[in-house]
Every structure is written in structure tokens, then in C-alpha cells.
A and B are shown apart, each in its own frame.
Chain A
Amino acid sequence: MTGASDIQQALKEEFGNEAISGANLEAIDPWIEVAPGSIVAVSTFLRDDERFLFDHLNNLCGSDYLQPDPKKAKSFEHEPHVEVVYHLSSFTHKHRITLKVKLPRWADDVEGQLPACPSVASVWAAADWHEREAYDLVGIRFTGHPNLRRILCPEDWEGHPLRKDYEFPLEYHGIRGK
């Protein structure tokens, strides 16, 4: 068992403060923020290092931090951004950690241009389908992914449903929507 602060310490020693850009160790599930460019190296390190051996990717998902509801916006404490969340655990050491990569909502501030995050499908095979799902539903482009296509929605679907500003289609192939 290794605590989240030890993991953060080891990562900082290995990759420096710039790559490990933040953390919240007081959260119910402590998380460590990793710079997008370092996520593949950090993942590989966490999987292979004898002290950690995070060989199980429990979950990978995206979430869109934007509060479209003006009533709730006042108490909403996050800047608009998109996150990729990695939940890891180790079969050997029975410990868990959460990694986060924060991305802008749109690349270059151009609406419709998906933000890019390096793919970890080469580290854990489980990431392959999960990244396809995050691309499909949240709209994150995983660079270096072997087969980044939609997985749950039809191939010709427009938009990414789990974006907070997603608008429900009024019509799809003659089927009327809302």
C-alpha cells in the first residue's frame, strides 16, 4: 500500500514539477494532475515501477467542466475545461490512485476543434475502447490511438452528447427528436 502523497512525491522526483502540475490529496479519492505531454511516460512509469505496479486501468473517462445553468454558475468553482480521468489500481499492492489531465474545452479556442490528449492505449489495452468512448461522448481527440472511431453512437452522429453545451438533434435520418 502506498499513499497518494508518496506517489506524488515519487512522480515529482521522476518527472519534475512541470509534468505533475497539481493534486488534491484531501479529496475522497485523491487525485494527481499530470500535464498532457507527460501522461504516457507517467502511466508507463506507474505501471512498471516495482513500488507501484498499477497494472489495472479501472476506468478512463472524460468530463466537461462547464456550468450552463446560470443559477448554479455562481457557486461553480471550476474554470471551463475538459478533463480526462484515469482510475488506476494494482493487483499486487492493492492500492489505488486517480490521475487527471486537464485540457481546454476546444483546441486553439476554436469551437468544434477537439482538444488533443496523448493516448495510453499502448500502456493498458483497456484504454483502447475507453478512449474511443471518451472521444465519442465527450469529444477528446486521443493522439496516437490506433483506431479512434465512435463506439457507442452511430458513425455519422453529430456532436458529443456528454458536452454540457450539447444540443439534442431535432432529426436523425427521418426520426424526429425532441
Chain B
Amino acid sequence: MTTELQDPRIVEYDVRTDEMLVNMGPQHPSTHGVLRLLLRTDGEIVHEVTPHLGYLHRCAEKIGENLAPPQWVPYTDRMDYLAGMNMNLGMSLAVEKLVGMELPEKAQVIRVLISELGRIASHLVGMGAYGLDLGTFSPFLWAFREREIVLDLFEEVCGARLTYSYITPGGATHDLPGSINLPPGLASLTNQSPETTVSWTDALTQFLDWLEPRIEEYHTLLTRNQIFIKRTAGLGVMSPEMAKSYGCTGPVLRGSGVDWDLRRDGEDIYTGMYQGYDFDIPVAPFDAAPPESVLGDNWCRFYVRMMEVVQSIRLVRQAIEKYPTAEGSYRETFKLATKLPADECYLETECPRGQMGFYLVGDGSSEPFRARAKSSCFCNLAVTAPLSEGFLLADIPAIVGSLDVVMGEIDR
């Protein structure tokens, strides 16, 4: 059987092949969790991809309908478990929009600081795991070394390393800590004694100072690596029209050249938090792109994330500056028994992987009548099938990895 695909890498034009159904996942390491892809292949070429999801489905929406909003916060942690802080924030803001609550400046500064730090940690995993998908192990170790320090800092803030439940309706559970022992990872990287006592914000500044020059190293390791470019540039190309139609959001949308970020274009309750901060929104095409790269390919999506880390560092630095003079308390009272009005609201926030939305319908009691979590990865994953058709089997992990999906958020 011959193929029409004129890919110079295929040398087996005359080899007779049979059509085969290949199961990739749900325990495949490069499917980012428990995603199962059913591939119809002919030789090395994939003709059809059918994603099967639901392996992590817990019906979080049904749970949310039976709990008061502050009780539902821990369940949102477990949606996108790599960016728990951002999930908490999205849900809390939706509740505050429903009850019409305004937060003091200090709570807002803490929220910006923590959620941008969460974005850095999340993109570091995205970068490291993408390297792993493509067969290079070092970026993964490097990224986790950096992320470890962020997790140590989060642990000092709220006691948890992964499922924080820190940002809750009304503000946050604690104020930022005063003085702490230097996180062990940071101490060893900067040749200091782990007994050193510093303030939490100083430890964070030291970490950012250490991280910022490292980003150039990641570019050397991945972005400008010829093997990496060969595996990503020009593959999995998504046009802006397709990205919009499929409802793709976040780095996947911006990688296709659509200039859209809810931190700037969202609703007032969310953009208000970012008033007075100076940051850019990286959108493809990039000057740094290799000649093989085209708009909307794997490389662009990856590079958007790398650039967002730089912007998040800027935002965190500005938040650190604002924090000491911010007025008000870190939280307003939001009780378990706070009644939700008989109204409804929908709010999306810009999470690391895209726009996470929460739709809440109140009925006058303290539990929402309908609680809905709209997942960004759910939409982003839907493009896997059209993007992968006609490509080589080995390109599937490169395409799925570039979408950077987390199954906990898709299955909810």
C-alpha cells in the first residue's frame, strides 16, 4: 500500500503494511496522565486518532452541588493538580462575583503573587515533561529542581505542596509568612546554610534572581536544540481559525497567533487584580523562531510557555514590591453558611493551561444549585484528532505534549 504523504523521513514507501489499531495509554508515560488514544495506523502513519477520556472522572460538579463553596475549594485543587493555586483562584472569584464581594488590596496582591508563582511552577513542569516526551531527560530534572523550591515556598505559605486550598472565597486562608528558614533546595543552589533565616519575600526574590538567568539555559537545552526543533517545528500546525473554533485557550491559542489573554481582556473582577502591573503577553509569531517553524506549530506553543515564565517573574517581582504597602486584610469573612443569591454567574480566569471557567447557579441556600467547572484542557485536547491525522506515530507524543494537558482537569 502506498501513501500520499510526501514526508522525506519515510523511507518505506514500497513496504507493504497493514492497517492496525494501536492503543496508546491509558498508562503510557507520554500521555500526561491517564489518557487513552486509540490510533488507526498504517505502517508508521496515523490515519485516525480517537481520544478516550474519563479515567479520572469524579463528577466534581455533582460534589460541588452538595457543598458550600469554601468546602468545594479542595476539590478544585484536584482538577489541574499542577496549578492548584490557579484553580482555587478561578473558583473563588466566581463565588465572589456571584455574591458581589470586593476584596481588600492586600488579598488581591497576595492572589496575583501566588497565582503567578503557580504559573511558573506549572510551566516548568510543562517544559520538563515536554522534553521527556521527546526523549531528552535533563530538562525534566532541571525543571523539577526549580519547581521544588516553589513548592517549598508554597509549603511555608499554606502547609501543602500540591493541593493547597490556599485561595478561598473571601481572600486567602493565611497571610504570607514572616521569616522562614531558607528552603533547602535554594540553600544548596546558592551555597548558603539551610539554617539561614530570611523573610519569605526575600527567599522568593532570591529564587527569582536565581531562576531568571537559568531560562537562557533552557533555551540552549531545548528551544535552540536542533533535535528539538526537528521534532517540533512545522508539526501539529493549527490555524488561528481552527484554534478559535475548537475553543482553544491559553498558550495553545496564543501559539496560533491570537492575541488574547484574560488577564488583560477578561472581566473586570479579574482584570482589576492586574491593574497597575506591567506585563506583556507573548503571542506567536516570534523573532526567535527557527526557519523551520510556522505559525501555530508545536514549537510556537512551547515557546509561548517559556516566554510566559519570564512575564510571570516580572509580575511576581512587582507584587513583592506592592505587598508591604498594600492596605486592608488578606481576607474578608466568607462563612460556610453565606447564602448564595438566586442568580447565576459564569467567570473564566487565565490558568496556565488556558481559560478555566466556573458557572454557578445559586438558589438562596448556601450550596450552589448548579456548579459547573469548564475545563480548558478539555477543549485543547479536542484538537488532538484533527492535528495528528496523517503524521507519524512518533509525532503523536510531540503533538499531545505541546498541548500540555492535565487529565485531572479534563475528567474532573
Query: Interface digits, B13-56 against A, CB 8 Å rule (1 contact, 0 not)?
Result: 00000000000000000000000000000000000000001100
Partner of B247, one of A57, A137, A151, A161: A57
- The reply on B357 being an interface residue by CB < 8 A is yes
Known: A61-B359, A87-B357. A124 touches B245 (CB 8 A): yes
- Interface-located stretch among A7-15, A33-41, A125-133: A125-133
Q: Which residue of B lies closest to A150 (CB)?
A: B54
Pairwise interchain contact B345-A154, C-beta atoms closer than 8 A: no
Q: Which residue of A lies closest to B242 (CB)?
A: A125
Known: A58-B247, A126-B382. A137 touches B59 (CB 8 A): yes
Pairwise interchain contact A27-B344, C-beta atoms closer than 8 A: yes
Q: Which residue of B lies closest to A147 (CB)?
A: B50
Interface residues of A in 119-144 (CB under 8 A from B): 124-126, 128-130, 133, 137
Rounded to whole angstroms, the CA-CA distance of A27 and B344 in the bound complex is 7
Pairwise interchain contact B54-A153, C-beta atoms closer than 8 A: yes
Q: How far does the Cβ of A27 sit from chain B's closest Cβ, in whole Å?
A: 6
Query: Interface digits, B216-258 against A, CB 8 Å rule (1 contact, 0 not)?
Result: 0000000000000000000000000010111100000000001
- The reply on B61 being an interface residue by CB < 8 A is yes
Category for how many chain A residues contact B:
35 or more
Query: Interface digits, B363-375 against A, CB 8 Å rule (1 contact, 0 not)?
Result: 1110001101010
Q: How far does the Cβ of B31 sit from chain A's closest Cβ, in whole Å?
A: 17
- The reply on B116 being an interface residue by CB < 8 A is no
Rounded to whole angstroms, the CA-CA distance of A61 and B245 in the bound complex is 17
When distances are taken between beta carbons in the complex, the residues of chain B under 8 Å from A29 are 344-346
- Inter-chain CB contacts under 8 Å: number: 90
- The reply on B120 being an interface residue by CB < 8 A is no
- The reply on B348 being an interface residue by CB < 8 A is yes
Q: How far does the Cβ of B169 sit from chain A's closest Cβ, in whole Å?
A: 15
Rounded to whole angstroms, the CA-CA distance of A131 and B242 in the bound complex is 18
Pairwise interchain contact B370-A126, C-beta atoms closer than 8 A: no
Pairwise interchain contact A152-B411, C-beta atoms closer than 8 A: yes
Query: Interface digits, A29-57 against B, CB 8 Å rule (1 contact, 0 not)?
Result: 10100000000000000000000000111
Known: A29-B346, A126-B247. A63 touches B370 (CB 8 A): yes
Q: Which residue of A lies closest to B50 (CB)?
A: A147
Pairwise interchain contact B54-A61, C-beta atoms closer than 8 A: no
- The reply on B343 being an interface residue by CB < 8 A is yes
Pairwise interchain contact B247-A56, C-beta atoms closer than 8 A: yes
Q: Which residue of A lies closest to B248 (CB)?
A: A126
When distances are taken between beta carbons in the complex, the residues of chain A under 8 Å from B53 are 151-152
- The reply on A172 being an interface residue by CB < 8 A is no
Interface residues of A in 53-87 (CB under 8 A from B): 55-59, 61, 63-64, 67, 72, 75-77, 85, 87
Rounded to whole angstroms, the CA-CA distance of A48 and B180 in the bound complex is 56
Q: List 8 A-B contacts (CB under 8 A).
A: A27-B343, A28-B98, A57-B247, A64-B370, A98-B346, A124-B245, A125-B247, A129-B378
Given contacts A58-B348, A63-B372, 5 further A-B contacts (CB under 8 A): A59-B359, A63-B361, A87-B374, A125-B246, A150-B54
